[in-house]
Chains A and B, each alone.
Chain A
């Protein structure tokens, strides 16, 4: 999937990748890739600036540790981040439903 298609949704995706617990930057990227069967595979180096932005906004909190002799920064959601994630989910549901209706592809999500 092209990076431009993720514009406006990257924050929500990164927050969702941290929902199950603390992760470091590379693990966040891997979690996102695994959750989407490889369809969203962000360049590793661009995940970190986005995480810093989320931290500056108070949505995630970082802490340092040393793993295998390397300094590692691990991130976890804050309460504000959890609220933001819930908001992003609601917004996405509404957006997807509207666009699906407009494109004429039937209701979204698909129900059997």
Chain B
């Protein structure tokens, strides 16, 4: 595939961090650059070094792909929206204490554990710099868990209706918006490399 050992090594590093189709595309660009440099310089070693210098180091290229990845973007959105919607539900739980206490303790503990896991996944997706796959998988897991939690909350409200209030309306609106964001993003995260 590669025209020179140095280029092959660079592509191998990128292949450990980026999806295969992206690496194929980068390989084409790097090899086209190498071909140009070969025409200009005539020496394979010098041409490979020049092509690699022009290409950019693996960390910079990977970080640029990670920054623009759909996983990174949805993780940021959910992390920004999370505290606002969470505060809404927290207020509903505090003001509707009788309603909250009707929810079994194990269910509340499981919900808390899932929420913590989702936040951890989304923080991972928003902070990883060098591993595109980590961002994608963490964002997928975090978004999916948030969607499940929001769906469970909506189901709980339907089966055990709390006292109606503006806070409840706002919290429900936030949860529905998050479910819609997840429904739009999850297929993209699954199908895109």
User: Which residues of chain A have a CB within 8 Å of any CB of chain B?
Assistant: 24-27, 29, 41, 43-50, 52-53, 56, 67, 70-73
Contact present for A24 and B29 (CB under 8 Å):
yes
| A25 to B21 Cα, complex, angstroms | 14
Chain A residues with Cβ below 8 Å from B191 are none
A52 touches which of B32, B54, B65 (Cβ 8 Å):
B65
Contact present for B33 and A49 (CB under 8 Å):
no
User: Which residues of chain B have a CB within 8 Å of any CB of chain A?
Assistant: 1, 21-22, 24-33, 51, 54-56, 60-61, 64-65, 67-68, 70
Interface residues of chain A: helix, strand, loop or mixed (majority): helix
Contact present for B28 and A73 (CB under 8 Å):
yes
A43-B60, A49-B61, A71-B24 known; A26 vs B68 contact (CB < 8 Å): no
Chain B residues with Cβ below 8 Å from A29 are 29
Chain B residues with Cβ below 8 Å from A45 are 26, 29-30, 55-56, 60-61, 64
A26-B28, A43-B54, A71-B28 known; A48 vs B33 contact (CB < 8 Å): no
| A71 to B27 Cα, complex, angstroms | 9
Chain B residues with Cβ below 8 Å from A53 are 68
A44-B54, A71-B25 known; A26 vs B64 contact (CB < 8 Å): no
Contact present for A25 and B29 (CB under 8 Å):
yes
Supply 12 further A-B pairs (C-beta < 8 A) apart from A71-B27, A72-B25.
Answer: A24-B28, A27-B32, A45-B26, A45-B30, A46-B64, A48-B25, A50-B64, A52-B22, A52-B65, A56-B70, A70-B1, A71-B28
Contact present for A48 and B54 (CB under 8 Å):
no
Chain A residues with Cβ below 8 Å from B54 are 41, 43-44
| A56 to B60 Cα, complex, angstroms | 20
| A56 to B30 Cα, complex, angstroms | 23
Query: What are 24 A-B pairs with beta-carbon distances under 8 A?
Result: A24-B28, A25-B28, A26-B32, A27-B32, A43-B54, A43-B55, A44-B51, A44-B55, A44-B56, A45-B26, A45-B29, A45-B55, A45-B56, A45-B60, A45-B64, A48-B25, A48-B61, A49-B61, A49-B65, A49-B68, A56-B68, A71-B25, A72-B28, A73-B24
Chain B residues with Cβ below 8 Å from A52 are 22, 65, 68
The smallest beta-carbon distance between B130 and chain A, in angstroms, is 14
Chain A residues with Cβ below 8 Å from B1 are 70
Chain A residues with Cβ below 8 Å from B51 are 44
The smallest beta-carbon distance between A58 and chain B, in angstroms, is 13
Chain A residues with Cβ below 8 Å from B29 are 24-26, 29, 44-45, 47-48
| A45 to B63 Cα, complex, angstroms | 11
Closest-by-CB residue of A relative to B51 is A44
Chain A residues with Cβ below 8 Å from B65 are 48-49, 52
- Ranked nearest first, the 10 interchain pairs of A and B with the lowest CB-CB distance are A45-B56, A43-B56, A45-B61, A49-B64, A26-B29, A53-B68, A26-B32, A71-B24, A45-B55, A44-B55
